[in-house]
């Protein structure tokens, strides 16, 4: 089904919102947020959350904030903030003037913490991190009260203030919520609210040496911003009672939290913690390596915002985790580029062909169609001459039965050009490698049609050797060799499944002369080869192309199997 003709998405979250609007909850407002932590680049999983949060705001005439959850100064950087903003914009969403930071609320969060201490709902604890873990208990065993749990309010206030003033070293004390060490929900066992960390922050510099924990900061940030529907992934379901507790004890505005299943995509990883390892350990060339499932990687690979948004719409929103096959993402980019990308000819692994009956001093231009899917894209001229390149794969000296392309004595069509027949195979005397084919052409077949309706079984792409431009072409395959590395045997790390063949670089490809000045980011279909995008590594006169996707639609096959 074509996405543009499809109805607006329906899912359980939109149902809830419709119901809330009907009941005039939250003054009939819809206000969502996308809350990334700036500790890495965004990936396609984040795109799902972005499309959901911004999409809902658009649909229900509400607002969506961009909020950086920046409570962890040692892992967060301005580079990530900038990259995240670029990616959200590129996907086509706009937070207008609502760019917020959890760090904007540090003062308020501190005041609220003091309020909780005064209410006897928080205390300063001197246990070390290891001791806290030990006291916490397990899923089956209850926790133990900290010996500092019943510190008088005055002492807590004094110590907390001194924590802020920097009187104590990292890790010496924490502020903890006083809830219930025996709770069946481990998140409720007196969770840490503040820790001491003498570290500079990308927004607040050296103003603070205590930092709020994510769980404490997140729910209050939502409350301060007046978020109506706080949409998050399933792993936060068990944190909801804690968020409720903080907001109830403070008696402040309370958003509604709704959890949905995160996106899992086959043959890759969607976790910043893992992606950062790939970058830092040099398994890929950077966050925007075209093999990465990051937004910046997909952009460089040649993906369009529209394809990614369509993908997010197709996968839908559910309450149960599942694994989406990478071929669906590839299907979405093909669907978008099929009609949009101009078609050109490029020879990836060139084999020289000399047309022996074509006059040496002759040259001509033939008309080629830019995209048969869209007549408005018109035609172009491609040069033809005595020496051409065709694809090595398109010739077999001893063709098997089902091979219909070029072979000794066989006639094939060159697209938009002529019928040619292979009359001789030239080999390197020492290596035996085929270096050149000698062919004849039939001048009566100009344009690729034969007047006597002679049948040929194959049509090949080609380029004219003296006119073509040399190019580098990078072919990509899955980052991982298995669909789901977490299913790995013997608890193997995901890096054990890195595909050593995820990148193949071809350095002496030949493309049509019209691509000489192709701009970085331009996308093409190379006939019979796939979709390609001009990479930023291109230099004047030598373009570099990334293969965005092949032409083979493996999704159609999977879909058929499912039906
Ligand atoms: P990661 O596991 O990659 O580190 P994260 O949840 O820690 O992801 P955040 O920056 O906190 O990263 O994520 C911002 C928002 O994006 C959160 O609301 C989170 O729930 C959502 N999100 C993250 N990963 C996915 C995913 N795979 N599918 C859908 N939403 C996601
Ligand atoms: Mg997170």
* CATH number of the structural domain spanning residue 376: 2.40.240.10
What region, left, alpha or beta, does residue 84 occupy, with left being phi > 0 and alpha being psi -120 to 50 degrees? alpha
pLDDT for 540: 87
pLDDT for 432: 95
Please tell me if the CB atom of residue 357 comes closer than 6 angstroms to any atom of ligand 1. Answer: no
Please tell me if the CB atom of residue 239 comes closer than 6 angstroms to any atom of ligand 1. Answer: no
The pLDDT-based confidence of 3 (bands split at 50, 70, 90) is very low
User: Given a cut of 50, is residue 1 above it in pLDDT?
Assistant: no
250 with 310, same domain: the answer is no
282 with 234, same domain: the answer is no
pLDDT for 556: 75
Q: Which of 46, 55, 268, 272 to mutate to test the pocket of ligand 1 (most atoms within 8 A of CB)?
A: 46
**Residue 344, burial from CB neighbour count under 10 angstroms (0-12, 13-18, 19+):** buried
Answer yes or no: is 466 within a domain.
Answer: no
Q: In what order do the strands lie in the sheet with 99-101?
A: 31-34, 63-68, 99-101
338 with 446, same domain: the answer is no
Please tell me if the CB atom of residue 35 comes closer than 6 angstroms to any atom of ligand 1. Answer: yes
Structure tokens at 80: 């990530």
The pLDDT-based confidence of 554 (bands split at 50, 70, 90) is confident
336 with 354, same domain: the answer is no
User: Given a cut of 60, is residue 423 above it in pLDDT?
Assistant: yes
442 with 490, same domain: the answer is no
Answer yes or no: is 8 within a domain.
Answer: no
Please tell me if the CB atom of residue 46 comes closer than 6 angstroms to any atom of ligand 1. Answer: yes
326 with 254, same domain: the answer is no
Domain that holds residue 306: 272-342+471-562
CA-closest residue to ligand 1 atom 16: 46
DSSP labels for 230-262?
Answer: EEEEGGGGGGHHHHHHHHHHHT---PEEEEEPP
Answer yes or no: is 5 within a domain.
Answer: no
Compute the distance between CA of residue 211 and CA of residue 131 in angstroms, rounded to an integer: 20
pLDDT for 553: 80
User: Given a cut of 90, is residue 6 above it in pLDDT?
Assistant: no
Q: In Å, how far are 109, 116, 213 from 250, measured between CA atoms?
A: 11, 7, 17
Answer yes or no: is 154 within a domain.
Answer: yes
Q: Which atom of ligand 1 is nearest to the CA of 273?
A: 4
Average pLDDT, integer, range 409-415? 98
The pLDDT-based confidence of 489 (bands split at 50, 70, 90) is low
> What is the distance in A from the centroid of ligand 2 to the CA of 78?
17
> What is the distance in A from the centroid of ligand 2 to the CA of 271?
10
Please tell me if the CB atom of residue 232 comes closer than 6 angstroms to any atom of ligand 1. Answer: yes
188 with 71, same domain: the answer is yes
pLDDT for 563: 55
245 with 379, same domain: the answer is no
Angle 64-295-66 from CA coordinates, rounded to 5° = 20
Q: Which atom of ligand 1 is nearest to the CA of 231?
A: 18
Answer yes or no: is 444 within a domain.
Answer: yes
276 with 256, same domain: the answer is no
pLDDT for 506: 98
pLDDT for 525: 98
pLDDT for 186: 97
**Catalytic residue at 320?**
no
Domains of the chain: total: 3
**Residue 161, burial from CB neighbour count under 10 angstroms (0-12, 13-18, 19+):** middle
Please tell me if the CB atom of residue 468 comes closer than 6 angstroms to any atom of ligand 1. Answer: no
Last residue within a domain, chosen from 415, 436, 461: 461
Considering 173, 249, 272, 309, which one is annotated as catalytic? 272
**Residue 536, burial from CB neighbour count under 10 angstroms (0-12, 13-18, 19+):** exposed
Please tell me if the CB atom of residue 254 comes closer than 6 angstroms to any atom of ligand 1. Answer: no
Answer yes or no: is 355 within a domain.
Answer: yes
Q: Which of 11, 45, 102 to mutate to test the pocket of ligand 1 (most atoms within 8 A of CB)?
A: 45
37 with 135, same domain: the answer is yes
DSSP labels for 406-438?
Answer: B-TT-EEEETTS-EEEEEEEEE-TTT--EEEEE
Per-residue pLDDT tens over the stretch 123-150:
999 999 999 999 999 999 999 999 999 9
Compute the distance between CA of residue 398 and CA of residue 407 in angstroms, rounded to an integer: 7
pLDDT for 529: 97
Last residue within a domain, chosen from 239, 260, 281: 260
Q: Which ligand is nearest to the CA of 37?
A: 1
Answer yes or no: is 118 within a domain.
Answer: yes
The pLDDT-based confidence of 492 (bands split at 50, 70, 90) is confident
> What is the distance in A from the centroid of ligand 1 to the CA of 55?
17
User: Given a cut of 80, is residue 122 above it in pLDDT?
Assistant: yes
129 with 33, same domain: the answer is yes
Last residue within a domain, chosen from 409, 436, 461: 461
Average pLDDT, integer, range 274-280? 97
The pLDDT-based confidence of 5 (bands split at 50, 70, 90) is very low
Compute the distance between CA of residue 95 and CA of residue 458 in angstroms, rounded to an integer: 52
Please tell me if the CB atom of residue 249 comes closer than 6 angstroms to any atom of ligand 1. Answer: no
Of 434-438, 468-472, 498-502, 549-553, minimum mean pLDDT range: 549-553
Q: Which ligand is nearest to the CA of 227?
A: 1
User: Given a cut of 80, is residue 562 above it in pLDDT?
Assistant: no
Report the candidate in 368, 370, 350 with the shortest Cα–Cα distance to residue 435: 350
49 CB contacts (<8 Å, ≥6 apart)?
Answer: 34, 231, 233
Give me the count of residues in the chain. 563
pLDDT for 487: 67
Angle 305-346-534 from CA coordinates, rounded to 5° = 35
Average pLDDT, integer, range 499-510? 98
Considering 136, 256, 262, 381, which one is annotated as catalytic? 262
**Catalytic residue at 182?**
no
Domain at 115, CATH number: 3.40.50.620
419 with 482, same domain: the answer is no
Compute the distance between CA of residue 281 and CA of residue 286 in angstroms, rounded to an integer: 10
Per-residue pLDDT tens over the stretch 52-106:
999 999 999 999 999 999 999 999 999 999 999 999 999 999 999 999 999 999 9
**Catalytic residue at 4?**
no
Answer yes or no: is 6 within a domain.
Answer: no
């Amino acid at each position: 089904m074509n996405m543009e003709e499809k109805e607006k998405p329906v899912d359980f979250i939109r149902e809830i919102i419709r119901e809330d609007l009907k009941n005039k909850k939250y003054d009939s407002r819809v206000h969502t947020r996308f809350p990334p932590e700036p500790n890495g680049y965004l990936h396609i999983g984040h795109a799902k959350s972005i499309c959901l949060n911004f999409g809902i705001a658009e649909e229900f005439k509400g607002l969506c904030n961009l909020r950086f959850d920046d409570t962890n100064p040692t892992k967060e950087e301005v580079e990530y903030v900038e990259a995240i903003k670029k990616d959200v914009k590129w996907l086509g969403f706009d937070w207008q003037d609502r760019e917020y930071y959890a760090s904007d609320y540090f003062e308020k969060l501190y005041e609220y913490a003091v309020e909780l201490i005064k209410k006897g709902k928080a205390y300063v604890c001197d246990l070390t991190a290891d001791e806290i873990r030990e006291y916490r208990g397990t899923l089956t065993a209850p926790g133990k009260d900290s010996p500092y749990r019943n510190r008088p309010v005055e002492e807590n206030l004094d110590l907390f203030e001194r924590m802020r003033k920097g009187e104590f070293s990292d890790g010496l004390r924490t502020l903890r919520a006083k809830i219930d060490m025996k709770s069946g929900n481990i998140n409720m066992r007196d969770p840490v609210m503040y820790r001491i960390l003498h570290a500079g922050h990308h927004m607040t510099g050296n103003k603070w040496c205590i930092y709020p924990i994510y769980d404490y900061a997140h729910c209050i940030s939502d409350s301060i911003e007046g978020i109506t529907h706080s949409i998050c992934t399933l792993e936060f379901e068990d944190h909801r009672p804690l968020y409720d507790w903080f907001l109830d004890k403070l008696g402040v505005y309370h958003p509604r939290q709704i959890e949905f299943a995160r996106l899992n995509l086959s043959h890759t990883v969607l976790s910043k913690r893992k992606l950062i390892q790939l970058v830092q350990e040099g398994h890929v060339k950077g966050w925007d390596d075209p093999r990465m499932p990051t937004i910046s990687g997909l952009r460089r690979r040649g993906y369009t915002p529209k394809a990614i948004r369509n993908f997010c719409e197709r996968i839908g929103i559910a309450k149960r985790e599942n694994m989406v096959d990478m071929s669906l993402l590839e299907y979405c980019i093909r669907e978008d580029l099929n009609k949009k990308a101009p078609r050109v000819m490029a020879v990836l692994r060139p084999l020289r062909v000399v047309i022996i009956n074509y006059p040496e001093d002759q040259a001509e231009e033939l008309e080629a169609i830019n995209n048969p899917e869209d007549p408005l894209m018109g035609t172009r001229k491609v040069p033809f001459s005595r020496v051409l390149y065709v694809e090595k794969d398109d010739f077999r000296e001893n063709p098997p039965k089902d091979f219909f392309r070029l072979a000794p004595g066989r006639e094939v069509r060159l697209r938009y050009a002529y019928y040619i027949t292979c009359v001789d195979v030239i080999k390197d005397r020492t290596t035996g490698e085929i270096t050149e084919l000698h062919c004849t052409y039939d001048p009566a077949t100009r344009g690729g049609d034969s007047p006597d309706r002679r049948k040929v079984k194959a049509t090949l792409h080609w380029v004219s050797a003296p006119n073509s431009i040399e190019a580098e072409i990078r072919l990509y395959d899955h980052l991982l060799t298995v669909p789901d590395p977490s299913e790995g045997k013997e608890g193997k790390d995901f890096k054990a499944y890195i595909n050593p063949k995820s990148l193949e670089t071809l350095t002496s490809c030949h493309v049509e002369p019209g691509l000489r000045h192709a701009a970085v980011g331009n996308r093409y279909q190379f006939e019979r080869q796939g979709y390609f995008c001009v990479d930023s590594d291109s230099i004047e006169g030598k373009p570099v192309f990334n293969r965005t996707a092949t032409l083979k639609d493996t999704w159609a096959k999977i879909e058929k199997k499912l039906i």
